[in-house]
Structures are given as C-alpha cells and as structure tokens.
Chain A
Amino acid sequence: MKSFATYQRLNTYIAILIFLLGSIAFYGVLQYVLLRQLDDSLKAEKQEISDYVQKYHQLPVIQNTKNQWVIIDSNAHTFANQKFRTIKLYNTIEQEMQEVRQLSFALAINNQQYFVQVNKSQAETEDLLQLIAILAFSMIALLLVLNYFVNRKLVNKLFKPFQKTISAIQAYKIGQKAPLQLPESSLAEMHLLNTSLNEMSQRIYVEYRSLKSFTENAAHEMQTPLAVMRSLIESIIQQNNLNEQGLNQLTTIDDNIQKLIKLHQSLLLLAKIENNQFQLNETVAINEIIIAKCEEKNSFIETKNLLLKLELNEVQLLFHRQLTDMLVNNMINNAIRYTPVNGEITIQLNKNELIICNTASAGSLDAEQVFKRFYKPQQQQEGTGLGLAIVNEICRLANWPIRYEFQNNKHCFIVQFFQKVS
C-alpha cells in the first residue's frame, strides 16, 4: 500500500490547499458583494430622506428598527461629504456592541444644517458569512473523508490481482517443473503485467531446461568415452604379455583418466551450482555431517597422526543436504591433505560460523587467490585445484560469506552463516 499511501497523502494536501484558497477567495468576494448591497440600501435611505426634505422642507419622522436607525444631529458644525464607514457601535435596541455600516452626510433644511448618520447593522451579513463558511468547511471535510474511504476501497480492489501476482512470483522456484502461470485479468495493466511475466518465465524456463539438459548430456557424452578408455586399459593390463614399463604407462593413463573424471565432475558441479540447479529447502544438521565426515576420514587422520579438535554446537541450516555435505567434505579433505604429519586440525561450529583451521606447512596462502579455480600453492600437484572453488561457489549460493585467514601459523577458513538459522 506504499504507493497508494503516498498518492493519498499528496491528494489530501492538495485538496485541502485548494479548498482553503477557494474558501478565502469565496469569503472575500462574498463579503465585498454583501457590503455593496448594504451600502446600496444605505444610499437608498439617504435618497429617501433627501427626497422627503426637498418635498416638505422638514425632517421626516423615521421609524428606527433594530437593524437600521438614523441619527440626526441638528447642531452640526462639520460639513463632511458623504462618507461610508464601518464602525463598532452600541445598538440601543439590541443592547450590544455591533459592527455597523454607517453613511454620514450633511443636509440643509431652511438654512439649518443637519448632520445625518444612517446606520445599518452588519450582524446579518456576518451571520450569513459565518453560515457559508461553516457549510464550506463541512463540505470539505466530508469530501476528504469520503474520498479517503472510497479510494481505499477502490485501490484495495485494484491492487488485489497485483498482490496475487506478487505472491505467485514469490512462491515460484526456478527449478519447478513448469513455467509460471499467472491468471488472466480484466484490468488492462494487470493483464499486460501478467502476460509479460508469463512470457518471461516461459523464456527463462526454456533456457533453464536447455542448460540443465546440456550439463546432463555433457556428463553423459564425456563419461562414456572415458568409460570405454578405462575398460580397454583394464583389459590390456590383464593380458600377460606386457612388461613393467608398458604396465606403468597404462596405469599412468588410467590415473590421468581418473583426474579427467574428477575434473569433469567438479566443473559440472560448478556449472550446476552457478545455474542454480539445486532446490535449497532442506533442513540440514551440519554438526552431524561434520561428525560423520570426521569418522569417515578417521583412518587418514590417524595415519598422519593429526590431532583433531572438535568444538561443535548443534546447528540446523536451511540449505541443501548434498551441497552441505560437499562443502564440509572439501574443507575437511583440504585440511587433512595440507596439514603436515603430527599437525593439528580444529573445527569450530556455532550458529554464526564454521571455522576450520589446520597447521600450515609453509607460510600464509594468498587470501585473494585461494578460492580461485585451479589455484595450487607451492606447485602442489595433487588435487584438482577445484575443491575450494567449489566450496566458494556453494557458500555464494547459500549466501554465506567465506574468508581465509592466517593465524598463529594456521590456515583458517571461516564460513559465516547469515540467515535461515532455525
């Protein structure tokens, strides 16, 4: 509702401003008109008095009312011109102070000068103005309130299909078996949005499928010739007519086939991770995986006489079981492989991070390069050079930052778990 709230707020401000300006202008105009009307009736009164004086050469008897009264001063010494003014006067009939419009003029009867003041109360005009103002303001208020509720209702209704679309997109996972299917909408904009999204999802889906089938086909197409080569080599080895050198060459070929297989599998795995071909919705008890891996590799640890220290808390992560397994496996394998004999490996796990440290045989590694593909320090030949690259990719997929530190002659790999700790 954010955009609606912004719109509503702006709308309200502008409406209030316009209504306010309008009301002020209306008030001014109305007051001007009413005053003119008052002045006209005062003039008419003056005319009546003058006419009477002219006809009968004496002052008329004037009946004062509570709204209009005439004061005639016979001992006037001032000979002012006709003059309108608004003053506060005490109304003797109403017995209160009132705003009064007054027309004063001089009058001569039989050489006697009179000073006449025609007064008309402005109370009625004021009342009228007040009434109009109240009416105007209540109209504004009513309009704003109605506008607010109607807009809200309407916008809610208009936004419903939009929200449906949003939740459908949120629920959609790229690995799903079908592209996104958003419903038709009678609203032109929603229809456009939904069909565009459907088309986009269709395109992504097709590309995803073809990428997936490519990686699968690549696996198949490359593994088969490798399988043929390996089986042929093994057949030849079984024949008894080979000398030591021949056998040696054949096993070297087989070892290299093994390297190729491993490399190929690792690269395929990296491609799969990069293409997000895994659904990350499994609850994984990483502490159990670590324990299982350590037991599995215990014979290697014992043979190298390594000291393994475990400090594990129970940690459950929402991720992918196989990938977590691979992450832990590669990190532990690395630690075992690169720890010198009699060295030490420590594995610490808490809900924030996993730290695997091992005694270094030489100095620090290049923290910038260590997670790069085919990085092999000190010309070490064993391994594919992809183990840590895979670890890095898995961490990237999981959104867990990983870093390398060199502390107290130890290589430390630290994986930080950011989210989804349950």
Chain B
Amino acid sequence: MKLLIIEDEVNLNTTIASFLTAAGYLCETVSNFKDAIEKIDLYEYDCIILDIMLPDGSGLELLRYLKLNKKNDGVIIISAKDSLDDKLTGLQLGADDYLTKPFHLPELAMRVAAIIRRKKMDGHNVINIDEWLYIDTIAQRVTIHNAAIELTQKEYQLLLFFVVNKNRILSKSAIAQHLWGDDMDLADHYDFIYTHIKNLRKKILSAGGEDCIRSIYGAGYKFQVN
C-alpha cells in the first residue's frame, strides 16, 4: 500500500509518515505543490493525504489536476480550515474524505484504511485477524470462528477502530472523538468508553475469541494481536 503525504508542516508530515509506516504502509512525503505534481505524474498511490494550504499552490488545484489526468488515487484532505464551503468544494472535486486539523493519528489511519478498502475493486472487503476474527466492512458483519456475533453500531465502530489500529495504543480521547465526534465531551464525563469496551470484550470472549483488548494504564486501550 503506497501513500503520498502532501503537507508543508514538516513535523506533522514526519509524524504522520512514521505512524502510517508503522501501520504497514509505504509512505512518501512531499512538502510543496511542485514536488507533489511530480510524484503524482510518476507514480500511482493508493491514497494521497493532502493539505489544502500549500506554500506554492492550493490543494484544491491538485485535486483538479488529478481529475483532469483521470488519476484514480484515493484522496483525503487534511485542513485546518473547518469551513463547510471548503469541505464541499473538496469533496466535489473528487476527494474521498475530509479531516479537520488537529486530528488523532489513529483516526487518520482509520480514514485512510476505509478509502483504500473502498478503492479496492476485488469485491470483498473483509478484514482478517489471525484467521479467527473476520470483519466484512460492507455488510458490517463480524464473525468469530465462523460464527456471527451481534454488535451494536457503536461496538462495531469501536472494533473496527481497534482492528485498523491494531497493536497501537488508542487514547480515550481518540476513541471518544471517533465514536462521538463533537459530542465526545458528553461521553468523556460518564466513562462511556469503558462501558462499550467492557461489552465488546465480553461479546468477543463469549464467542470464543481471544482477549486482545488491553487496558494500558494512564494511556488508553490497545488491541493486541500477533
């Protein structure tokens, strides 16, 4: 899986790259418009992570360029502008997703994975964890040892978030943001996450799955698999 990260803020560019590299992607990074065009012309990427505001051009211009050249690369816009207009323009120009800065890195990984799954044309979007846990992301069906388990919408979202960011520590804040978005501060106070995780773990265990959700003291949770 090849990713191109177009972001002029070097620190952010590097941390995104290292996080996604650790998640198993091959990352290339550029920090300006000119270099980005060069890379796009030469290679094909599964997903491009695109900052809208670049020192020598606009990310929206780059979207137009991709469209004009009939490139099929998936694009996720990361922008500090939380303006609805920008969001709509970006999506109209062919971007697959839009993430407002500052975001949690696991959230970005989640969105990138979703785009790549969608772009893959082989029809089955099934995530396989060590041959015992299967998640069909189209039907939103989870099977453990070939038996389907019933999950609520939130539990499903939580599981998918864990699986995509397996072996990573997910902070409560990142989980809350992922599950509840702007309502996360409501969730925060009553320790909703703990309840949901407890329920999810119980369901996995009772279906004969492995106990892979670890609580990391002081930090959050981790979905640990080999």
Interface residues of A (CB under 8 A from B): 216, 219-221, 223-224, 226-232, 234-235, 237-238, 244-248, 250-251, 254-255, 257-258, 261-262, 265, 296-297, 299-300, 303-304, 322, 329, 333, 336-337, 382-383
- The majority secondary structure among interface residues of chain A is helix
Tell me whether A300 and B171 are in contact (CB under 8 A): no
Question: What residue of chain B has the Cβ atom nearest to residue A261's Cβ?
Answer: B102
Query: A232 to B11, alpha carbons, bound, how many Å?
Result: 8
Tell me whether A383 and B185 are in contact (CB under 8 A): yes
Question: What residue of chain B has the Cβ atom nearest to residue A387's Cβ?
Answer: B185
Tell me whether A322 and B84 are in contact (CB under 8 A): yes
Query: A254 to B195, alpha carbons, bound, how many Å?
Result: 22
B102's contact among A221, A230, A237, A382, by CB below 8 Å, is which? A230
A237's contact among B12, B84, B101, B169, by CB below 8 Å, is which? B169
A228's contact among B11, B19, B172, B173, by CB below 8 Å, is which? B11
Point out the residues of chain A lying under 8 angstroms from B119, CB to CB.
Answer: none
Q: Is B217 an interface residue (CB 8 A)?
A: yes
Q: Given A296-B183, A304-B190, is A226 in contact with B101 using a C-beta cutoff of 8 Å?
A: yes
Interface hub of B182, B192, B195, B219 (most chain A Cβ within 10 A): B219
Query: A383 to B184, alpha carbons, bound, how many Å?
Result: 11
Q: Is B88 an interface residue (CB 8 A)?
A: no
What are 16 of the A-B contact pairs (CB < 8 Å)? A220-B80, A228-B15, A228-B102, A231-B12, A231-B19, A234-B171, A235-B15, A247-B217, A247-B219, A248-B219, A251-B220, A258-B173, A297-B183, A322-B84, A329-B182, A333-B183
Tell me whether A231 and B195 are in contact (CB under 8 A): no
Point out the residues of chain B lying under 8 angstroms from A227, CB to CB.
Answer: 9, 12, 80, 101-103
Tell me whether A226 and B102 are in contact (CB under 8 A): yes
Tell me whether A337 and B11 are in contact (CB under 8 A): no
Chain B residues within 8 Å of chain A by Cβ, number: 44
- The majority secondary structure among interface residues of chain B is helix
Tell me whether A224 and B192 are in contact (CB under 8 A): no
Point out the residues of chain B lying under 8 angstroms from A238, CB to CB.
Answer: 19, 22, 168-169
| Least distance between B218 CB and chain A CB atoms (Å) | 3
A234's contact among B53, B81, B105, B216, by CB below 8 Å, is which? B105
Question: What residue of chain B has the Cβ atom nearest to residue A252's Cβ?
Answer: B218
B129-167, CB < 8 A from A: 154
Tell me whether B172 and A234 are in contact (CB under 8 A): no
Question: What residue of chain A has the Cβ atom nearest to residue B153's Cβ?
Answer: A299
| Least distance between A214 CB and chain B CB atoms (Å) | 13
| Least distance between A103 CB and chain B CB atoms (Å) | 103
Given contacts A231-B105, A235-B105, A382-B185, 5 further A-B contacts (CB under 8 A): A227-B103, A237-B169, A238-B19, A303-B195, A329-B182
Interface hub of A226, A229, A234, A336 (most chain B Cβ within 10 A): A234
Tell me whether B102 and A251 are in contact (CB under 8 A): no
Tell me whether B104 and A235 are in contact (CB under 8 A): no
Point out the residues of chain B lying under 8 angstroms from A297, CB to CB.
Answer: 183, 186
Query: A34 to B183, alpha carbons, bound, how many Å?
Result: 102
Tell me whether A262 and B185 are in contact (CB under 8 A): yes
Query: A37 to B9, alpha carbons, bound, how many Å?
Result: 111
Question: What residue of chain B has the Cβ atom nearest to residue A255's Cβ?
Answer: B173
Tell me whether A228 and B104 are in contact (CB under 8 A): no
| Least distance between A94 CB and chain B CB atoms (Å) | 99
Nearest first, the 5 A-B pairs at minimum CB distance are A248-B218, A227-B102, A223-B80, A247-B218, A247-B219
Point out the residues of chain B lying under 8 angstroms from A220, CB to CB.
Answer: 53, 80-81
Tell me whether A251 and B12 are in contact (CB under 8 A): no
B195-226, CB < 8 A from A: 195, 216-220
Q: Given A223-B80, A224-B12, A303-B190, is A251 in contact with B154 using a C-beta cutoff of 8 Å?
A: no
Interface hub of A219, A231, A333 (most chain B Cβ within 10 A): A231
Tell me whether B171 and A333 are in contact (CB under 8 A): no
Tell me whether A224 and B18 are in contact (CB under 8 A): no
Point out the residues of chain B lying under 8 angstroms from A299, CB to CB.
Answer: 154, 192
Point out the residues of chain A lying under 8 angstroms from B11, CB to CB.
Answer: 228, 231-232
| Least distance between B109 CB and chain A CB atoms (Å) | 10
Point out the residues of chain A lying under 8 angstroms from B192, CB to CB.
Answer: 299-300, 303
Tell me whether A234 and B101 are in contact (CB under 8 A): no
